[in-house]
Amino acid sequence: MTIRKFKAATMKDALLLVKDELGPQAVILNTRKTGNALFGGERYEVTAGLDESAQKKAAPEYAMTYSPKKLKKNSEGRYIDSPVFGSDSATAVMERPMRESTVLPEFNSPAQSEFRSLTAGIDAMRSAVYSIADQAAEKSKESALPPALARISDALEQNEVSPAHVQQLIEQIKKGLPAESANDDVALRRRLFAAVESDMPVSGHIKKGLDRARRIALVGPTGVGKTTTIAKLAAHFRLRENLKVALIAADNYRMAAIEQIQQFAGISNIPLEIVYTDDEMKAALEKFSRFDMVFIDTAGRSQRNIEHMNDLRRTLLALDPDEVHLTVSVTTKMKDLRVIERKYSEIGYHRLIVTKLDETISYGTLYNLVKESGKAISYISTGQSIPDDLSLADSRSLANLIAGGGAA
């Protein structure tokens, strides 16, 4: 990991230096104001890192070509020619790079450390409870389970439906089941399909605002495809629904995300504002207040980093969104999904968007997530194409994935 500090007169200039020096895959580790307005003026300091090994991994869901540009100065010594932020940059100074072995200290109060230990303990206890429930469900399987029901049980578990949920579904199927249908595969599949479909609520399409633009924010961990998904949503409502749509990018922690959404906005002719502060967020919302919809791309946040989650909470407070969609990948392990869902529920979200359905053949985590969160799914993403590979969630289609195609 290469870690460096950059200083500039404005936050935009500091981020511009990060992009020029480290490239679009740079991760912002810390930002702060330095100096004093009365004595020499305020300055901004950004600490950024670059994981060289991460650059060698496969391209993200929505890959963009990046061609780094060297910064140039005009006759006044001002930096120009920024493809992201425009040419209005002030003089900037970059500190010498920190040694790669340098480790940034964590600044946590005793209360924060105690809270972190407490939440880690809760996560461990929660995982243990689910593990015990799954083991109990497996042990409670009736040895005389009819062969057709046994096949359904095995198929659900192969699809990664939690054993505890499999047991509940089997009990639902058996309830009121005529004796002559105990080994009727078609009848049992129909009952399974109906049970799963009733357990998979969906929210329907996002509705446009009435008195003001409807504010829709996407939140979630890194790497799940939020920026691509928000581009798909904006393209759908702009090109297919013919609505007046705008974009706000609040992801200041990954330079590539800014370039992706900016490039998309230019191609689609959708207005975009890139914001760095709460005041800029409020100004952007006011600018787009007469639109039908405003989609806000937030920074990917680790559910285990308290400071990052607090930053996201502050962003949402400034945003005052009408809808918050937690974006998760179906390829994430169920144990991790449970922690992600719980941490983001503490911040507050309304619906689920599930991505990367094209990258797996096991969809049981969809059922587990919805059953345990109590939240409806709004959209599912099945590929990289914009906007084609985004679909409105449908209970019947989801049940078909989970139950293996039951007859209706």
Specify the pLDDT at position 360: 92
Chain mean pLDDT for the chain: 78
Alpha helices (H) along 274-373: 278-287, 306-319, 334-347, 364-373
How far is the C-alpha of 184 from the C-alpha of 180, rounded, in Å? 8
pLDDT for 79 beyond 90: no
pLDDT for 382 beyond 50: yes
Which CATH code, of 3.30.1330.60, 1.10.10.10, 3.40.50.300, 3.80.10.10, is assigned to 214-392?
Answer: 3.40.50.300
Q: Give the N- to C-terminal CA distance of the chain in Å, as an integer.
A: 54
Specify the pLDDT at position 153: 92
How far is the C-alpha of 160 from the C-alpha of 58, rounded, in Å? 26
Q: What's the rounded mean pLDDT across residues 73-95?
A: 39
CA 94, distance to chain mean position in Å, is: 32
Question: What Å distances lie between residue 215 and 220, 283, 358, 371, 380, CA to CA?
Answer: 17, 14, 28, 27, 20
Could you read off the pLDDT of 10-36 as tens digits, one per residue?
A: 877 888 888 888 887 777 777 777 765
Specify the pLDDT at position 260: 80
CA angle 210, 296, 82 (to 5 degrees): 130
How far is the C-alpha of 105 from the C-alpha of 98, rounded, in Å? 13
List CB contacts of 21: < 8 A, sequence separation 6 or more: 4, 6, 94
Please give the model's pTM, rounded to 2 decimal places: 0.66
* Contact in structure between 354 and 377 (CB atoms under 8 Å): yes
Question: What Å distances lie between residue 34 and 15, 31, 193, 278, CA to CA?
Answer: 15, 10, 60, 19
Alpha-carbon Rg of the chain, whole angstroms? 25
Least confident of 71-85, 134-148, 264-278: 71-85
Tokens coding 187: 């009848």
Alpha helices (H) along 140-275: 147-158, 163-174, 185-198, 226-235, 255-268
Tokens coding 388: 């084609």
Q: Can you give the residue ranges of every domain in the chain?
A: 2-94, 214-392
Q: What's the rounded mean pLDDT across residues 335-364?
A: 93
Q: What's the pLDDT band for 180 if we cut at 50, 70, 90?
A: confident
Could you read off the pLDDT of 1-16 as tens digits, one per residue?
A: 677 888 888 877 888 8
Tokens coding 149: 């029901």
Alpha helices (H) along 9-80: 11-22
Q: Is 210 helix (H, G, I), strand (E, B) or coil?
A: coil
Q: What's the pLDDT band for 99 if we cut at 50, 70, 90?
A: very low
Q: What's the rounded mean pLDDT across residues 39-48?
A: 72
